[in-house]
Amino acid sequence: MDDHQTEISDGGLFIRDGLIEEVGQSANLPNSADEVLDLKDHIVLPGLVNTHHHFYQTLTRAVPSAQDANLFNWLTTLYPIWARIQPEDIFTSTQTALAELALSGCTTASDHLYLFPNGSKLDDEIAAAQEIGLRIQASRGSMSLGVSQGGLPPDSVVDNEDSILKDSQRLIEQYHDSKDGAMVQIVLAPCSPFSVTTDLMKQSAKLAREYGVHLHTHLAETEDEEQFCLQKFGHRPVGYMQEVDWVGDDVWFAHAVWVNDEEIQVFAKHNCGVAHCPTSNMRLASGIAPVKEYRAAGVNVGLGVDGPASNDGSHLLAEVRNAMLLARVKEGITGFSRSESPSHQERGDRGEGEEVRALMTAREALYLGTRGGAAVVGRNDIGSLEPGKCADFFAINLDRIGYAGMHDPVAAVVFGQPVNVDYTVVGGKFVVKEGRLVTVDEQKLREKHKKAVKKLLS
């Protein structure tokens, strides 16, 4: 994922103090180190970057009454359950989500926590992430527009603006690390146009810019939201963001499905990023984001698994696969482009006179999951395997039945059935080794999580 998309056979990395020092053919790397990891038969890729998640939702996966609902009905079904969440549940669900992410090759995860019932704090999530050892872009979310003011959530899960802003400032000062190699960064993230007041949107942007932290929110996820924004604010969702000063290279939006050509150009002009969540968009029947159009316009796009109540998993490599497949579904619906796919040109396997379809390639999908995601969350120190970057990578043993006969090892991990990875390394430290989590006892975590869910739903 360097600027030349270099792929190295018999390659290796030399890592020192959490950073990549050399990348190249193993034969040309230093032949001794404190620890040598032999990854014969493995593919090594840059750690995946998750750009949108709600860790706490591992507590409400596949809830029967929310299985077949669209976004607004799904939310109103789940809000009352979420209102019962306790601080220890935030800790447990964060570890469960991060464990699943780590096992799928993720090394940096963004999370969007926007309700804080019963004394819960973002601190609970950060403490849990520090134990697991993944980098975290922890978003201090918020909801301030309850149903009595024309919002969607019940008043019991919204907070007042002063306390939200005060807590946001405290978290930035306590945790935000703006340096390369940061393990924790804070993001300000009012939840969505239909759950947050206009004033809180503006105040959050002002506060974030005073401290140089990023801004994140849900936007243009469904057609319902478009109608809501037109009626309540007199703008379409993107126009409303412009109105509240939420455009810039420090802003990224989750979903951004329901946008028109002019709105794509607004994102491009202001360098706003997009967290594309294909599985969630399919699960909630929200629609298909115009990823190809975003990329053509120069908009940064990353991938997100979204919350486990609308996925209902946190497997980021599966999300890479779904991004590729869903882009192809969209292509099939909107008509095939006659432009030529570079991957076919490069390989020279195009028949004479054959129409080549500009389909998303496996490599492009992997780019979205790595370098694309890093750009979306505003980090230059991750997303590729290059000297000077963080030593964040994952490795998969290709010698397994699901990959037998695959002609192309890079494409294999995207075209093939998604698997759990064999190694995940963050800053030179193992989080997954020989297919097992090493920073947390997975069995104990599963038991603890099961108990928390039983208590929450009892």
Which residues of the chain form contacts with Zn ion (CB under 5 A)? 306
| Total Cβ atoms within 10 A of residue 150 | 12
> What single letter denotes the amino acid at residue 185?
Q
**DSSP3 helix / strand / coil % (the chain, rounded to 5):** 45, 15, 40
Smaller CB separation from Zn ion, 306 or 364: 306
Q: Tell me the C-alpha to C-alpha distance, in Å, between residue 90 and each of 47, 59, 254, 319.
A: 25, 9, 21, 24
Residues 427, 47: Cα–Cα separation, whole Å: 10
Q: Tell me the C-alpha to C-alpha distance, in Å, between residue 296 and each of 139, 188, 291, 293.
A: 29, 28, 9, 5
Question: Tokens 């603006």 label which residue?
Answer: 161
Give yes or no for a cis peptide into 167 (omega within 30° of 0): no
CA 361 from chain centre, in angstroms, equals: 20
Residues 279, 283: Cα–Cα separation, whole Å: 6
Residues 216, 248: Cα–Cα separation, whole Å: 11
CA 283 from chain centre, in angstroms, equals: 16
Question: Residue 98 Cβ, how far from Zn ion at the closest point, in Å?
Answer: 17
Q: Residue 97: which of 88, 86, 85, 106 has the closest Cα? A: 106
Smaller CB separation from Zn ion, 197 or 311: 311
φ/ψ of 371, rounded to 5, equals -65, -40
CB 216 within 8 A of CB 110: yes
Residue partners of 406: CB distance under 8 A and separation at least 6: 398, 412, 415, 416
Smaller CB separation from Zn ion, 124 or 306: 306
Smaller CB separation from Zn ion, 306 or 422: 306
Question: Tokens 């482009």 label which residue?
Answer: 337
| Total Cβ atoms within 10 A of residue 328 | 13
Residues 368, 46: Cα–Cα separation, whole Å: 12
For 65, the token pair is 């009454």
H or E segment at 55? none
Question: Residue 303 Cβ, how far from Zn ion at the closest point, in Å?
Answer: 13
Smaller CB separation from Zn ion, 225 or 306: 306
CB 421 within 8 A of CB 395: yes
Smaller CB separation from Zn ion, 67 or 174: 67
H or E segment at 13? strand 11-16
Q: Which residue is nearest to Zn ion (CB)?
A: 306
DSSP letters along 220-284, please?
A: S-SHHHHHHHHHHHSS-HHHHHHHTT--STTEEEEE--S--HHHHHHHHHHT-EEEE-HHHHHHT
Smaller CB separation from Zn ion, 125 or 306: 306
Question: Residue 53 Cβ, how far from Zn ion at the closest point, in Å?
Answer: 8
Question: Residue 349 Cβ, how far from Zn ion at the closest point, in Å?
Answer: 40
Smaller CB separation from Zn ion, 111 or 306: 306
Residues 328, 341: Cα–Cα separation, whole Å: 13
